[in-house]
């Protein structure tokens, strides 16, 4: 029996047995894994990242079978840094999002983020907004404009992130600390504030680290390699 049709994106696909593929999908009902049979045919050509899809699956277990897979929109064409950014979002979801845990808001934000990457919009605000929304939807979010004691963050203060709880005021500079002005800029998504984007990237790395199991993200390492200057 086929499950109801639902929108989907491919997060990752790899060869499985002789002519099938094992595909990780993102849907409003969560992340799921399914076997796509005849992966060398038309369906296999659709089992690529960043294509809006319509998906039906068979099976009740953890590993399902693809019953129907069709295109549901125009493919999002990502190149260069935008492509690596999209692959980063995909790997992040595979690593952090629990299997078959419905999160329609995450699905919608992912679709908007991929579209924004395809449109050539600035990468860093897109990535930081997605990371923030992902943590918040999974219950790991925290406020940026008040500390763990409920006091308002002050612009000239210094703060340290306490995992899954918030910011602790500190009396002197420590590695990984944040200026209050940086936190307040992030709270308003004011990326014109000097250092705000760099601080947001550092913050998201700290906040995501406990949920990645100590293993580095492959896409992040590839992205850093891409950005390294070439040498003659």
Q: What is the pLDDT of residue 86?
A: 96
Are 95 and 29 found together in one domain? no
Same domain flag for 89 and 185: yes
Low-confidence ranges of the chain (pLDDT < 50): 230-232
E-strand stretches of the chain: 6-16, 20-27, 30-36, 53-58, 63-71, 158-162, 166-170, 178-179
The parent domain of residue 107 ranges over 80-226
Q: What is the CATH number of the domain that holds 207?
A: 1.20.1440.120
129 and 67 in one domain? no
58 lies in the same domain as 104: no
pLDDT of residue 194: 86
Q: Look up residue 122 and give its two tokens.
A: 């600035």
- Cα(59)–Cα(21) distance, rounded to whole angstroms? 16
Domains: count for the chain: 2
3-class SS of residue 174: coil
CA 193 to each of CA 175, 185, 189: distance values in angstroms, whole numbers, following the listed order: 21, 6, 9
Of the three residues 40, 71, 102, the one that is the final residue of a domain is 71
53 and 84 together in one domain? no
Same domain for 97 and 51: no
Residues in the chain: 232
Considering the domain architecture, whether residues 130 and 213 belong to the same structural domain is answered as yes
Same domain, 180 and 222: yes
Task: Evaluate whether residue 232 is within a structural domain.
Answer: no
Angle at 35 between CA 33 and CA 41, to 5 degrees: 130
Q: Which CATH number characterizes residue 18's domain? A: 2.40.50.140
From 71, 95, 115, the end of a domain falls on: 71
Q: Specify the pLDDT at position 231.
A: 46
What is the structure's pLDDT at 2? 65
Determine the pLDDT at residue 39: 72
Check whether residue 130 and residue 208 sit in a common domain.
yes
Q: Read off the tokens for 110.
A: 């992912």
Domain final residue, candidates 71, 101, 132: 71
Q: For residues 103 and 15, state if they share a domain.
A: no
Tens digit of each residue's pLDDT (9 = 90 or more) over 71-92? 998 889 999 999 999 999 999 9
Question: Which run of H or E residues covers position 114?
Answer: helix 104-118
- Can you give the pLDDT at residue 229? 53
Residue pLDDT, tens place only, 83-120: 999 999 999 999 999 999 999 999 999 999 999 999 99
Residues 65 and 129 in one domain: no
In angstroms, the Cα distances linking 44 to 23, 41, 170 are 10, 5, 54
pLDDT of the residue at 227: 60
């Amino acid at each position: 029996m086929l499950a109801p049709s639902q929108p989907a994106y491919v997060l990752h696909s790899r060869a499985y047995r002789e002519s099938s593929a094992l595909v990780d999908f993102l849907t409003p009902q969560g992340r799921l894994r399914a076997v796509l049979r005849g992966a060398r045919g038309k369906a296999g050509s659709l089992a690529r990242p960043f294509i809006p899809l319509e998906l039906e699956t068979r099976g009740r277990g953890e590993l399902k079978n693809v019953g129907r897979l069709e295109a549901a929109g125009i493919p999002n064409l990502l190149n260069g840094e935008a492509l690596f950014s999209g692959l980063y979002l995909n790997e992040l979801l595979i690593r952090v999002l629990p299997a078959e845990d419905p999160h329609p808001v995450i699905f919608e934000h992912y679709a908007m983020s991929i579209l924004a990457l395809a449109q050539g919009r600035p990468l860093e605000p897109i990535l930081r907004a997605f990371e923030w929304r992902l943590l918040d939807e999974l219950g790991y979010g925290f406020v940026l404009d008040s500390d763990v004691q409920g006091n308002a963050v002050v612009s000239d203060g210094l703060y340290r992130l306490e995992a899954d709880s918030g910011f602790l005021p500190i009396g002197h500079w420590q590695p990984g600390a944040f200026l209050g002005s940086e936190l307040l800029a992030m709270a308003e998504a004011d990326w014109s504030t000097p250092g705000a984007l760099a601080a947001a990237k550092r913050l998201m790395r700290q906040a995501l680290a406990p949920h990645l199991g100590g293993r580095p993200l492959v896409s992040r390492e590839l992205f850093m390699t891409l950005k390294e200057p070439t040498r003659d």
